[in-house]
Amino acid sequence: MFSGIIEEMGAVSILNKSLAGTRLTIMASAIMGDLAIGASVSVNGTCLTVTARTDQDFSVDVSPETLQITTLGSLASGSPVNLERAMKLNDRIGGHMVSGHVDGIGALRSRYQDGNAVVLEIEAPKDILRLCVAKGSITVDGISLTINDATEKSFLVSIIPHTAKVTTLGLKQVGDQVNLESDLIGKYVERLLQERGILPPKPAPVIDKDYLKRRGLL
């Protein structure tokens, strides 16, 4: 479990791809102190397990499934990534409860200055937008953000100068993709309402060529 408060930006130093999956080696400093083999770490909002480490970097294995449903498959050597260690129960929660299980991929559709902040418009899948509410929480590339407004196709978030400086959102341009995780509490509320018949059940996925391609089966 994470809070969505990024501890530092690391950088991919080695990328090893094979049929079995991908191994990323990531250079970092601030999170390395107590990062142990077997620990969970959030990389651009994706919960991964540390499989090796040195004083300057750590490695994680990424399964084919994770590569298909997140933006990690587009990383290259030198790519910056947002990093956060697993949350401690005795720490303050500065953001919100984040599982590190990415729900889908969004795309940056516009960005503009609003005073000292940058407003990002992010297009998102319907399943994610259904749980987006004004002043609610959402995780974008592992960053806990507050939703300004939501439409049928996108949502708006504001990025303060500090967030733009210490996370990858300050580098994102129109057209870039981001990992999205809906608010965990919203998911549970929706499920309870569905079980009580107040909301219709979530429709089963349509198994077609597009679905199989997204899952890496074609």
pLDDT for residue 215 is more than 60: no
Spatial distance between the Cα atoms of 110 and 156, rounded to a whole number of angstroms: 9
Mean pLDDT value of segment 57-73 = 93
pLDDT score recorded for residue 43 = 98
Helix H or strand E segment including 104: strand 104-114
Quick check: helix, strand or coil at residue 187? helix
- Per residue in 151-194, pLDDT tens? 999 999 999 999 999 999 999 999 999 999 999 888 878 778 87
pLDDT score recorded for residue 135 = 95
Q: Which residue in 181, 173, 158, 45 sits closest to 109, CA to CA?
A: 173
**Domain 104-195, CATH class in plain words:** mainly beta
Residue span(s) of the chain under CATH 2.40.30.20 come to: 8-85, 104-195
State the fold for domain 8-85: Elongation Factor Tu (Ef-tu); domain 3 (2.40.30)
Mean pLDDT in the chain? 91
This prediction's pTM: 0.87
pLDDT score recorded for residue 203 = 65
